[in-house]
Amino acid sequence: MVSRVCVCVCLCVCTILKLHFLYFIASRPKRRHVAAALPTRAMVRQSLCAAAVAALLRAPLAAAHGRMTFPPSRQGGTLEVAGTNCGWHDAGTVANCECCWYTQFADIAIPGNATIPADSPLVTTGGCHDTKPGGCDWTKARPWRAPGSAPVLSPCGKETAGGADGRDLPPVALVNRTTWKAGTAVEVAFTITANHGGGYSWRLCPSSTTPLTEACFQQHPLDFAGDTSVVQYTSGKRVTIPAQRVTSGTTPAGSMWSKNPVPDEEGDFAPPLAGLVGSNWKFSIVDQVKIPADTAPGSWVLAWRWDTEDTAQSWANCADIEIAA
């Protein structure tokens, strides 16, 4: 995971700073007796290399984490590629690292108490979830535990949490846009390259809104149609699986979210299909969402938001679509 790499890098930096501090102390005339116990400069370089190697070994091969695969998005992503790789300029997009668009770490946590209880079947992580006073409910502040409430830097994602803003990516060309009819149920899809559990929602905002804001998307959340999802493999094969939706304790109030149906690891929760576990998905999760009958015709932006539980992150992509009367 990117989060693991960042932790390793931090540890590496701390190690280097500590070693430099020791050299500083050793250089002081009255503290020469310390020098005999200090590492050599060669050892410093070896420590740096070892820490860097450890960071690489502890990170997965996936470059990043998740993206929209239908309709065509500003970030790119297709049903044919799904999560087999992160993607670089797929479908003609100018986006680099197409599944790197998110808000993470110190930037994101739920502002209040968890609304998904620790013993809820909506929880997507293993480990200790003791709700007693002083217990070890280790994901209680993570975004998925109160869906939609954690603040984000951009409703369309930020590249590696500090680079480009998804709102500034070129809109999907009109010729490539999907057109939906108001009052109908339509298909949307996403995939994951590095699984962090949690759950997701789909929202709309008029494309005339400048700038696109999280508040605008929260005014137009989309409900899911039905209680099933479809696993669509890169080959085109489709298998229907049960879905778990939630509308209680979500932000905005009453908005509908869906649990990520694929566990990151064996034992997190029962997978919907045998062997459907882990990352680098060779499939997308396809859902139907309802376009309200009173949706005004014209150009809209669709946002996919994935609030994770295994990490302190929220992932987002945006697509440009047309709504017909």
State pTM to two decimals. Answer: 0.80
Write the single-letter amino acid at 26: A
What pLDDT does 62 receive? 35
Q: 82-86, 203-207, 223-227, 248-252: which has the minimum mean pLDDT? A: 82-86
The confidence band for 9, taking pLDDT boundaries of 50, 70 and 90, is very low
Across the range 6-20, mean pLDDT stands at: 39
What pLDDT does 115 receive? 97
Across the range 231-235, mean pLDDT stands at: 98
The answer to whether the peptide bond before residue 29 is cis (omega within 30 degrees of 0) is no
Residue 100: other Cβ atoms inside 10 A: 25
Q: Give residues with Cβ within 8 angstroms of 173, minimum separation 6.
A: none
Helix/strand/coil percentages in the chain, nearest 5: 20, 25, 55
Q: What is the mean pLDDT of the chain?
A: 82
Residue 128: other Cβ atoms inside 10 A: 11
Q: 45-49, 201-205, 315-319: which has the minimum mean pLDDT? A: 45-49
pLDDT tens string 18-74: 333 333 333 333 332 333 344 444 443 444 444 433 333 333 333 348 999 999 999
What pLDDT does 163 receive? 80
Beta strands in 207-297 (DSSP E): 228-233, 238-242, 245-246, 257-259, 283-290
pLDDT tens string 130-173: 777 777 899 999 999 999 999 999 999 998 755 889 999 999 99
Structure tokens given for 130: 């003791």
What pLDDT does 129 receive? 81
